[in-house]
Structures are given as structure tokens and as C-alpha cells.
Chains A and B, each alone.
Chain A
Amino acid sequence: MSTTQDSAETKVVKDATCTFCGCVCDDIDLTVEGTHIVDAKRACVLGNSWFLNHEIEDRPSCHVDGQPASLEAGIERAARILVDANYPLIYGLSDTTSESQRVAVGIADWIGGLVDTTTSVCHGPSGMAFQGVGEVTCTLGEVRNRADMVMYWGSNPAESHPRHFTKYSLMPKGMFVPNGRKDRTCVIVDVRKTKSAKAADLFVQIKPRRDFEGLWTLRALANGIDLDPQTVESDTGVPLNTWQDLFDRMKAARFGVIFFGMGLTMTRGKHANSEALLALTRDMNRHTRFTCKPNRGHGNVTGADNVVAWRTGYPFGVNLTRGYPRFNPGEYTASDVLARGEADAAMIIASDPMANFSQPAREHLASIPYIAFDPKQTPTTRSAAVAFTVATYGINVPGTVYRMDDVPIPLRPAFKSPHPSDLEILKRLSHRIREIQAGVPGRSTHGSGPGS
């Protein structure tokens, strides 16, 4: 149970939740001096940077066309942009609370727009594969307590999820793996000998862009199909006897798990790669218990999948322009509607497409009016028509996030921010959009000073 101890100068927030990555570690003890976190006990290198670099941005909470503006003026302009658009896009949502995600999806519905999350450029292809194959899955708690065979495919948790090994998957002593690491076999499959590979009992270095072939080699072995050794080695870069050794280890496990990353989803094959891995996991259940989980990047990207799914029936890339949801990755996903020049306005919440989208998508986003929400300045906030500086979820703002295994986790913020939360602004924006749609005129915002 979390407790907070206050003294005159410092405050300790126990069991705070780190929202930097999808591990969402909720056992961090924060030492807070005023508005600075000076210690983050148990945090990894990424968590330490997340907490210790947190500063209250010394700038207005709202900019309109690059100039400081009141929140009210920003909300009015944002509402007009979204209501006046023919094909507005709401995008991002992976670094905010599920409470905010819920309101954002509601706005997409009111304005008849698209709603997409960073999932589409992360594990969106896996989301497509789930619908084709299904997911034999488990929680990280089950992995911790049961898994004696832990595989990572196209994922480098040593750099992207530094506590994955130690808190959840490899090192912990669990109920059925009492000796921890000694009771587990670790396999890494990757095109690079990443930092994670050091942890492996077996490292399989596969040819780039040949994950599909590697996964189907294992599927063939799992289904008793004879393979030509020369073809296998030529296709995958790995000798058949290495695949056979891996399969034998998988088959001998009592509880196996494959964590997979963007090495599969971002590479040629994409959803076909994820589908092959999900199907392999299913095949392995003819021999023993096997599960799989995508290693998710952002702190609440899993929450975005959950919230968009329970609000629209689909996890990402949803078109609400006809008044009912339609789902079609490649057609309604953010990268596509921007690169094709289709969206005529956008609202970007807690993500930075101007830093990581394709060049044609970025060029189009820069050419249309858009609203951006972020605690920090980013390439996306700098080019926004309306930019809101918001409080940081988990550090300043309470709420709910979903860990990568779909387990909801409460946030325990360290201190308040003078900036509003994105939830507060989104609620006001939603209200104002409804007013405009009902014909309620706007109040004059002329002469209003900058927000706090």
C-alpha cells in the first residue's frame, strides 16, 4: 500500500508509478523537494531520467500561433479548428491517462473524425494479427511466477525496458521457478547482437527481414514437417540444427513466453510477422504451455488500445465520420491520412509525430492547422496552431494507466503542476465543441492574458 510521508522540506512518495515505458513499474519511491524529484528509488536508467529531469516548464500553458494566449482563447481556437474541419484526425494518446483517452475518443465521435493512437506505428500490425489469429497470452505476474522459457524476438528490453528482466521476466524468483534465473532459459532472436543478447542462454542471429521465415521454420518443426537444411539456412541465416535445438528447448519447457518487439512490426512483413509469431505460440500449445506478449513502448499505449476498443469496438485507426466506427489500418491510420494529404486538421495528444513520422506525413501535418498537448516543447508543439503545455501524467496528474499486459495501474503523483492536465483541457474543449455544434456563440477572448 502506498504511503506518503511529509516533512518540512522533503516528501517521500512510496510506490509511485513510472510511466516512461510499458513496464509501468509501480514500486518507485520518490523523494521530492518542492517541485523537484531528487531521488527515484528502484527506477531504471530510463525511469531515473523520467523522474529526475522533470521540471515545471516556465512558459504559458497555451500558445496560439506561437504567441502566449489564455486557455480560454486556446480552447476556442481549438474547438473551431476541429468543428470546421472536414476530415479531422485525433492522434497520439499513449502518454496520458485512460481518463483523458476516454474524453479524446468522445471528441472524435462528436466531430466525426478519425481517432488513432501511437499503436499504429508501434504494435498496430500486431493488433491486426490478434484479430486474425488470436493471442495466447498471460500477465507479467504469470511470467514472473511460472515461465521457465523466456524468449525475446525483435525486442531489446535491456535498452527499451530496462527492468523487464529484473522485475518481471528473467531474474525474479517465482512460485514455480524458485531459483529465479537458474530455473529459466533465455533466448534472444535478433538481427543485431544487442545489449539484451548478453542475458541469453541462446542467441539466434537471424538475417535482416527474415523473421517471417524463421518463425515459419519453427512452426514447421512444431507441426512435424520435414525441412531442407540448405533452404532454411539460406532463407534465415541460421542452420536448421540451431532452430531444431531452439524448438526442442521450447517443447521441453513447462511454461514458455515470447516477448516480441518492433523488430517484427516495423520490418517488411509487419502484421504477417506478428501473425506468424502468434500462430507459433498457438502451435506450441499442442506440446506444452506457451504464451506471448508484445513489449509495449509508451507508458499507457496499452491503455489507448483498451480505451479506444471499449469506446469504438476497435483498438486504433478508427473512422467515425459516418457516425459509427469503421476500422481499416492503412486507410484510417494517422501516418496514412497525413502522408496522403487527406486530414485537414488534427489534434495531437501526448505524442510527437513531427519527430518520428515519415517525411510526407510530417510535411502535410505542418501544412494544416493542428492542436498539440505536451508537457514539454517538441517539434510537434513548435509547429502547432494551438499548443497546450500540460501537467505530466504520473508525476503531477493522477489517473489510470494500463501495463503492457493489460493490467490497470493507478498513478500516485508527486506534486501538482501549475499547468492544467490534458484531461481538464479536453473536457473543456469537448464542452465547447458541443456548444458550437448547438449554435452557442463564443465569448470574446480578446485581451485575455496568458494562462498560468
Chain B
Amino acid sequence: MPMAETFILIPGRTSQQGCGISEGKFEANYQSEITTLQVAPADMERLALTNGDRVRLRGEHGEIDVAVKAAKKDELPAGILFIAYGDLSSRLMGGDTHGSGMPTSKGLDVELTVLK
């Protein structure tokens, strides 16, 4: 298996995910949005990834396998990943909230391994 690389993952909201909530969380639109990882185009090229390839993200609290797609233009800097909030992003969150009530949900350190 190729060596893992460290990235910072930013889960967040998207309008497609928001629309998907109203359409239904078990419907295709929502499910596809929350199960697709956006990768900076430079990182896609460097890792020889194409849209639809799968990668494994391993964080301090869990790991997920997820399909990738190139982020639009310069939306993401190299080294940063983005995924819409949902089941997969929650699997990487820890239960500890550091006395705040809020689990650390953005800016997660993850190790990315390309699955081929």
C-alpha cells in the first residue's frame, strides 16, 4: 500500500448538502455529497488521482474510505481536504469536547492513503 500523507480535513456545509437534507437524507443527492472528498487539484495531480478514485483517511478517532473529486479552481489550497458534513465526517470526530460541548469538527489531522 502507498505511503500515507498528512492533510488537514475541513468538513463543512455545501448548498448541495443543504438541498439534499430537504430532498431526504437517504436520497442520492445527499448521500453522494456527504461521501465525496474534495481534494485540491495540485494534490490530485501529484497523487495521480482522478475523480471517483478512493482514498482512506485515518484520523485520531477513526478511519473512512471515501471517493475523491477535484475541488473547483483555487477553492482549496494544497494540503487541505474538504468534505460535506455527514456520516463520514462524523466518524473522524472524537467524543471529547474539551469542556466546550463541541467536538473538534474542523481542521482535523488525517493521514491519506490512496486505495488502488
Contacts and interface: CB of A to CB of B under 8 A. Distances in A.
Contacts of A340: 95
B106 A20 contact: no
A376 B22 CA distance: 9
A192 B76 contact: yes
B23 interface: yes
Contact of A378 (B8, B25, B76): B25
Contacts, number: 159
A332 to B, nearest CB: 8
A316 B10 contact: no
B104 interface: yes
Contacts of B19: 45-46, 49
Contacts of A159: 13-15, 18
Interface in A353-410: 355-362, 376-379
Given A156-B12, A355-B87, A361-B95, A377 B24 contact: yes
A194 B12 CA distance: 11
Range class of the B interface residue count:
35 or more
Contacts of A379: 25, 87
Contact of A339 (B82, B95, B98): B95
Interface string A180-195: 0000000000011111
B22 A20 contact: yes
Interface in A32-66: 45-46, 49-50, 53-54
A209 B107 CA distance: 6
Interface string A119-133: 011001100100000
B97 interface: yes
A70 interface: no
B25 to A, nearest CB: 5
Contacts of B25: 352, 355, 376-379
A305 to B, nearest CB: 13
Nearest to B93: A358
A270 interface: yes
B100 A124 contact: yes
Interface string B96-116: 111111111111000000000
Contact of B75 (A194, A262, A336, A362): A194
B27 to A, nearest CB: 9
A270 B95 contact: no
15 contacts: A20-B22, A46-B15, A124-B101, A195-B75, A208-B107, A270-B100, A335-B102, A335-B103, A340-B95, A357-B90, A358-B94, A359-B62, A359-B93, A376-B24, A377-B24
